[in-house]
Amino acid sequence: MANDKVSIIVFSGDLDKALAAFNIATGAAASGMDVTMFFTFWGINMLKKTGPRKGARTLLGRMFDLFMPKGPDKLPLSKMNMGGMGSVMMRYQMAKKKVQPLGEFISMAKELGVKIVACTMSMEVMEIPPEDLNHVDEFAGVAAFLEEASKSKITLFI
Amino acid sequence: MKGDRLLDVRGMLCPMPIVKLSKAIRDAASGEVIEMLADDEGAWQDVPAWAKKTGNEYLGSERADSYSRHFVRKT
């Protein structure tokens, strides 16, 4: 019998929503399910590498790079962010309660076999080349998502 | 009740108990019983649900002092 499948669209670039997405993804993978996560729009931010960028970009591309968070440690909260203070307090509280940071959740998901797909349309619009991203198994579009989702028992948009 | 293998996930929160349980079951031999110590109250629901989903045998749970013990047999 084939494993049950779960497809999750990660649209949000907020720490709290990303944690929910990876909690479900790792829990499902640990329950023997095949999990695919599709990262689109602001969700792409958590996959970004830190550090300076190479390659030519337009002015808008440079602005996206400058003003968008780079990587899991830079995401804001969707509520109570308070100019970044809220996310610092949340990370402090998580560490105190021994919940691993988002970056470790992503690594754990990869170890458990969760497939990470990045949306090429979002990457093109925000001028993010593939070499700026970590963890990505596949670069794909909506047809690839629909193909996976139509075979999935659980489909989530976060 | 006593397990063949002890798994201590006290201090860990969701989803770590079941992630650790799934690794412990993978390492166990068929028929072996994992005894999991947890203080996350969610484990009372999560362990039987996980066992049902993965086709392993849930043998029961009991309360210890400030934590709980959960028993799963690998099928």
8 Å CB contact between B39 and B10: yes
**For residue B20, what is the nearest residue in chain A, using CA coordinates?**
A30
Domain count for chain A, please give it: 1
Considering the domain boundaries, does residue A77 fall inside one? no
Considering the domain boundaries, does residue A105 fall inside one? yes
A134-155 pLDDT, tens per residue? 999 999 999 999 999 999 999 9
Considering the domain boundaries, does residue A21 fall inside one? yes
Considering the domain boundaries, does residue A34 fall inside one? yes
* pLDDT of the residue at A1: 55
CATH of the domain at A44: 3.40.1260.10
Considering the domain boundaries, does residue A96 fall inside one? no
Q: Does domain B1-55 have CATH number 3.30.1330.10?
A: no
Rg of the Cα atoms in chain B: 11
8 Å CB contact between B17 and A102: no
Interface pTM (ipTM) of the complex? Answer: 0.89
Chain B contacts of A23, Cβ < 8 Å? 14-15
CA distance A43 to A119: 10
Considering the domain boundaries, does residue A118 fall inside one? yes
Cβ distance of A31 and B18 shorter than 8 Å: yes
Read off the pLDDT of each residue in B2-29 and give the average, rounded to a whole number: 96
Residue B34: both structure tokens together: 């994992």
Considering the domain boundaries, does residue A48 fall inside one? yes
Domain encompassing residue A150: 5-72+101-157
Considering the domain boundaries, does residue A152 fall inside one? yes
